């Protein structure tokens, strides 16, 4: 009986349950669609950019961590390389040439590492303060030897715009040094009598130097400034001469722009015009803060625009009766400024010590 009643209700119950399930399905579907529609702007405009930004931040932090690590390693390697090259740098500070310093390092078995090898493989040059014979305007010496400790510049047909030597010690100014055999000058600048040549300059400055004696001779310039020099006896007797033209040295494209060196120890500085009948040409020549001992400083056979000799200390025999500073009568200029020069008793320049 119960089974019969159940079978009789099926045509009524089944459609009702189907409709109820369908209604629930439709309601749940609409609810999910509504939630998706509501959540879409947030995903697009809020969560999307934030997620992208966070990924970028993580990438940035990773990259910065790598950079900081590399910088730390680079600093460690730099310190290591400085330690490895220190013996070479120390020998260079004593004025040794790269070749001599290398020879000593290799002989003593103290050179090590690629940095030292790379550093000493550099060729000698004027800019680095290496000794040798330089044919201006080349920065590389035409002659170099560890036993040759003179800084020599030969000037010829090619003019030089700027030639500057500063903060060096010459002659016997440092322990163990000596003048070249037969030499009597520590600084010798000018033309050559044997070659019948002169040094042609636009402007020359000889300042703040220490010389036992300083001699100017056979010089013709438009303006001569001899100012504020102290000397152990002096004889300053230039000749006023009208008609000496002012001048500059020109050269255009082929002109050497700069030959400059600072710091070094040499037995002698020689700037000359050695080629027969060919005058050396420099537009601006500066010799400054040079400490010399054991020989004379000489400026000779110069023709130019302006020559300035100022703030030098000249002397070494503690006697004012001998003239440590002399300007010969064959030094001629159209304009002469001779002021502030005083005589002061001076002993021989003291030998210098080198601090490391």
Whole-Å CA distances, 19 to 14, 30, 31, 145: 9, 16, 18, 111
Q: Are residues 55 and 202 in the same domain?
A: no
SS3 state of residue 320: coil
pLDDT, residue 230, reads 96
Contact yes or no for 189/282 (Cβ under 8 A): no
Residue 4 resides in a domain? no
For residue 330, what are the contacts with CB-CB under 8 A and spacing of at least 6? 217, 218, 219, 239
Phi-psi region of 217 (alpha: psi -120 to 50; beta: other; left: phi over 0): beta
d(CA 89, CA 199): 36
Q: Which of 88, 84, 85, 118 is nearest to 100 (CA)?
A: 88
**Regions of the chain where pLDDT drops below 50:** 99, 103, 106-120, 356
Copy the structure tokens of residue 4.
């019969």
Q: Taking the model in full, what pTM does it have?
A: 0.66
The tokens describing 46, both together, are 């809020």
pLDDT score, position 122: 65
- C-alpha 303, offset from chain centre: 31
Count of domains forming the chain: 2
Say yes or no: 27 and 165 in one domain. no
Q: Which residues lie closer than 8 Å to 346 by C-beta, 6 or more apart? A: 230, 231, 232, 313, 314, 315, 316, 318, 324
Q: Which pLDDT score, from 0 to 100, does residue 101 have?
A: 58
What does the pLDDT read at residue 282? 94
Co-location of 95 and 166 in the same domain = no
State the Cα angle at 128 between 154 and 262, rounded to 5°.
Answer: 85
pLDDT at position 218 is 97
Q: Do 115 and 198 have their domain in common? A: no
Boundary of a domain, candidates 70, 98, 122: 122
pLDDT of residue 117: 42
pLDDT in tens, 191-234: 999 999 999 999 999 999 999 999 999 999 999 999 999 999 99
pLDDT, tens only, 245-261: 999 998 776 677 688 99
* Burial class for 1, CB neighbours closer than 10 Å (0-12, 13-18, 19+): exposed
d(CA 268, CA 185): 7
209 domain-assigned:
yes
159 and 191 in a single domain? The answer is yes
Question: Nearest-CA neighbor of 125 among 258, 26, 24, 319?
Answer: 258
33 and 118 co-located in one domain: yes
Domain check: are 181 and 261 in the same one? yes
């Amino acid at each position: 009986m119960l089974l019969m009643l159940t079978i009789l209700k099926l045509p009524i119950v089944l459609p009702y349950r189907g409709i109820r399930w369908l209604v629930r399905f439709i309601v749940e579907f609409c609810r999910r669609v509504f939630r998706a529609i509501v959540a879409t702007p947030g995903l697009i405009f809020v969560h999307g950019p934030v997620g992208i930004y966070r990924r970028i931040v993580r990438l940035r932090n990773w990259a910065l961590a790598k950079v900081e690590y590399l910088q730390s390693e680079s600093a460690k390697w730099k310190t290591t390389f400085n330690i490895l090259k220190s013996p070479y740098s120390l020998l260079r500070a004593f004025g040794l040439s790269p070749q001599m310093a290398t020879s000593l390092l290799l002989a003593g078995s103290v050179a090590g590492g690629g940095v030292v090898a790379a550093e000493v493989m550099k060729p000698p040059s004027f800019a680095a303060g290496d000794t040798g014979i330089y044919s201006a305007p080349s920065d590389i010496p035409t002659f170099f030897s560890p036993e040759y400790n003179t800084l020599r510049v030969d000037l010829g047909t090619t003019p030089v715009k700027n030639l500057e030597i500063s903060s060096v010690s010459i002659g016997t100014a440092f322990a163990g040094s000596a003048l070249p055999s037969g030499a009597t000058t520590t600084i010798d600048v000018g033309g050559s009598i044997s070659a019948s040549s002169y040094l042609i300059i636009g402007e020359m400055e000889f300042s703040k130097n220490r010389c036992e004696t300083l001699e100017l001779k056979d010089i013709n310039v438009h303006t001569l400034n001899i100012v504020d020099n102290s000397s152990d006896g002096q004889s300053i007797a230039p000749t006023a001469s009208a008609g000496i033209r002012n001048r500059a040295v020109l050269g255009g494209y082929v002109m050497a722009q700069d030959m400059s060196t600072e710091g070094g120890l040499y037995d002698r500085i020689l700037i000359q015009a050695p080629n027969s009948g060919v005058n050396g040409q420099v537009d601006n020549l500066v010799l400054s803060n040079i400490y010399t001992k054991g020989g004379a400083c000489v400026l000779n056979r110069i023709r130019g625009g302006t020559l300035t000799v100022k703030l030098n200390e000249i002397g070494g025999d503690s006697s004012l009766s001998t003239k440590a500073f002399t300007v010969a009568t064959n030094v001629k200029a159209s304009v002469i400024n001779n002021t502030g020069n005083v005589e002061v008793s001076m002993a021989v320049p003291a030998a210098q010590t080198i601090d490391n």
